[in-house]
Chains A and B, each alone.
Chain A
């Protein structure tokens, strides 16, 4: 059989998808493919166009390359336009005069930006946003402009506004409708979006109908609105919608819709035999689809039909979820409640700026649509319920209400989804496809992406795809593993056992003997570093351990948002002498450090640069301070109340005990940080019941509480033992902590550890108090050995010239980081925010 000659007019996203599908199909050799593009390059990713303004290059945006087309035998011509179709003789004619014969013709001519017919719209700095050339024009124009206006407050308009902001312009959005994103959002959602966008310094003007563009006084142009008001600007970007590019079809006798668009049937056939239309130029059921996913589906359908198949295009879900100017927005199905009888549920949280609305059927059984602004977590669930017409739960409002226990409210068991549910609309992947892939052996997201292409488009479906994968793995009885990372098939607790029992002393030794190759990563390195420190307690910056240390540990300070560090000396039990306070004040003054009392009863000095750390710490160590390990997953503070020495109610010396406890465990590294407190009586002023280890004085000794937590999920500590004497108290704490260090997961606080410990508190008592496992002595010995090796890491470091060399910003220069910028607030400096930074750029650079 001789090859069929297929001509694809337009090499945009959809035209390319069609060609790519032919190349990858089993029948590829049956076809000879030709394509013509008006643009100077082959297909690129228009969806990601805006990333050009945040650093992507044209190369990054390309979807294919000339080499790829050549090697696949695709014949292409760039910079040339198809101007005529002779469907009787089955030929097309190009602007260059060339004529080519076809067997099948596929029109993928896309659309063009609509520019409203406003007088003055054709001036030089009035631009549109669709092609790479447009981006270049916008960039050039922005260089000569200070103010930019986007006409159109839809999805693309807001993206364009973001681009103008990124280019440093004062940005305005002018919208004809009363709200932003009128197509996707209802009034409430649109209003909230507007507030959020305005908070980002984009000026929004709604219900403005531009009548005329004339010369401005302060800026290049003046836009005159129908209501008599005006706005001056240096450039204008039109983003007022798209129109299907149907000129060619229209001129050649192919049916087009009343308001444009090439009419197609369910097989993507036009009114003329052997001519198909796909993508944004096509009109199906009187609808144009302005998104790429439906276009991709049409490409598949058209190819199927040409190939003798029976696939049909049956419409597409236009639900969208996106981040516009950093604001999360989603719209599902019938967002405007246009379905007769539709009922709605609305949830609005003015404090956290969240708006959610559900549109349900008259009988409240089915979800028709939804609008989400500010919190789009429920999108996946809602979109699936909507497209699959799944039954709503009894109380549909639960889907948008925050759950009272703080967990996500709208989670839906993925089991409930039908196999036909489309999870990834970009690549048309269903739940069934994922399930098949898992049954075929895929068990990571990487495998799934490779096998099904799911999540390789916009990425919006990743969470849903992963939960379907995990669920199916579970159904298959595959244990969803607790392996630390790709480098170790062991959990943290297992690795801790291996290190302890086999006396492994370095990361490389462990990786070589028990790892999966590679070099390790930022998960396993610090975890193993911490395990080694818990058991052997070497100096953390020793050569073989240095590369394992996390962000903060490696420079023995907490990295702040601008790359500088904070300094937190230990103030055991919160007790500090006036002399030491004066030293802290003097040092802070000398280095202009922002100074604050922490929530842990000590003092934090912020804003020290890398090279200043050793000098500052030298002064502090000389004055008798030690490191506070604020940077480590390690013992932080022991909070105390003043206790019996001063307080009229105190029954024991809580400060004395707090200092003793802090000095005993300081420097102990553990799976997560450890916090303690000691209160002098039952009034509990030190809040010991919110700590990992809490001690409260009694008439007869001490009550010990364990596994409390403040922070994200507070948990009251459990009363573990009562009326302990000093010695027993310490013994029990030793054992609890060491048992935790041996058995906890990575970054698991004691609260979560206890909740996951089989047998719970009773079991912990059996191990620690009754010594059921016969390890109490071991645990104590391990603690004693750890304590015996304590050193102040800062003292060791400032005494070691080799290590000090690392505390410089540059290895080859004494200069310092030039990127730091500060402003003074309440008499102290703090990092300048982005806007303040911009304002600090000298004005001279912008003028001229």
Chain B
């Protein structure tokens, strides 16, 4: 399984999630897509969106969208609001424990809409 987000454009099915302006800079929201909870983050400085699972596998609760986002070296990541582990927003990898990762999803902004590929 490759968690690395960007996949083949032709085969990917993009699902519209919300308007871009529903996202506040440097915070996250949670989207429900095909029954799955996905955390979507908007980094204002980079004008980029990221998407990973909302479920925190360590805290065992649906909260990752509510964490603080930032950088650890080269990694752009979110810190879980429960116990502060960092998850890389591009790969879903947990920086504190390489045995743990969440899924990262391809996501983009087009015509003011946020689209996610699942």
Contacts and interface: CB of A to CB of B under 8 A. Distances in A.
B70 A522 contact: yes
Nearest to B64: A563
Contacts of A547: 24-27, 68-69
Contacts of A810: 29-32, 37
Interface in B31-71: 31-33, 37, 40, 43, 45, 55, 57, 59-63, 66-71
A578 interface: no
A400 B115 CA distance: 58
Contacts of A59: 1-2
A505 interface: no
B18 interface: yes
A815 B31 CA distance: 10
A551 B66 contact: yes
Interface string A597-634: 00000000000000000000000000000000000000
Contacts of A446: 73
Given A563-B63, A812-B18, A519 B76 contact: yes
A683 interface: no
Interface residues of A, number: 44
- Centre residue among A51, A519, A812 by max chain B CB count within 10 A: A812
Interface stretch (B6-14, B77-85, B104-112): B77-85
B72 A812 contact: no
A694 B73 CA distance: 43
Contacts of A154: none
A325 interface: no
Nearest to A819: B62
A257 interface: no
Given A51-B99, A60-B99, A559-B81, A819 B1 contact: no
A209 to B, nearest CB: 35
- A contacts with B: majority SS: loop
B99 A521 contact: no
Contact of A806 (B24, B43, B72, B99): B24
A819 B55 contact: yes
Contacts of A548: 68
B32 A813 contact: yes
B34 to A, nearest CB: 11
B117 interface: no
Contacts of B63: 559, 563
A555 B33 CA distance: 23
B44 to A, nearest CB: 8
Contact of A521 (B27, B31, B79): B79
B89 to A, nearest CB: 11
Contact of B29 (A55, A546, A811): A811
Interface string A40-52: 0000000010010
A691 interface: no
Nearest to B101: A55
Contact of B82 (A508, A551, A817): A551
A549 B101 CA distance: 25
A663 to B, nearest CB: 30
A519 B31 contact: no
A57 B1 contact: yes
Contacts of B61: 561-563, 819
A638 B7 CA distance: 56
B13 to A, nearest CB: 16
A806 B18 CA distance: 13
Interface in A548-572: 548-551, 554-555, 559, 561-563
B62 A817 contact: yes
A669 interface: no
Nearest to B93: A60
A543 B73 contact: no
Interface in A518-536: 518-522, 524-526
B47 to A, nearest CB: 13
- Of B43, B70, B71, B76, the most chain A CB neighbours within 10 A belong to B70
Contact of B67 (A543, A551, A834): A551
Contacts of A56: 99-100
A122 interface: no
A811 B55 CA distance: 16
A809 interface: yes
B14 to A, nearest CB: 14
A519 B70 contact: yes
Nearest to A517: B71
A482 interface: no
A543 B37 CA distance: 25
A630 B18 CA distance: 33
Which of A55, A525, A563: most chain B Cβ within 10 A?
Answer: A563
A446 B72 CA distance: 12
A55 B71 contact: no
A811 B43 contact: no
B99 A812 contact: no
A519 B101 contact: no
Nearest to B24: A546
A487 B76 CA distance: 13
Interface string A750-776: 000000000000000000000000000
Contacts of A219: none
Contacts of B72: 486, 521
A550 to B, nearest CB: 7
Contacts of B118: none
Interface of A: 48, 51, 54-57, 59-60, 446, 486-487, 508, 518-522, 524-526, 543, 546-551, 554-555, 559, 561-563, 805-806, 809-813, 815, 817, 819, 834
18 contacts: A55-B99, A55-B101, A57-B1, A59-B2, A60-B98, A520-B70, A522-B68, A543-B24, A546-B26, A559-B66, A559-B81, A559-B82, A563-B63, A811-B17, A811-B22, A812-B18, A812-B33, A819-B55
Given A521-B72, A522-B67, A561-B61, 16 more contacts: A51-B99, A54-B99, A55-B57, A59-B1, A60-B101, A518-B71, A519-B71, A543-B24, A547-B68, A551-B66, A551-B68, A554-B27, A555-B66, A559-B82, A563-B59, A811-B30
Q: Which 8 A-B pairs have the closest CB atoms?
A: A547-B26, A521-B70, A522-B79, A518-B71, A551-B81, A51-B99, A563-B61, A811-B29
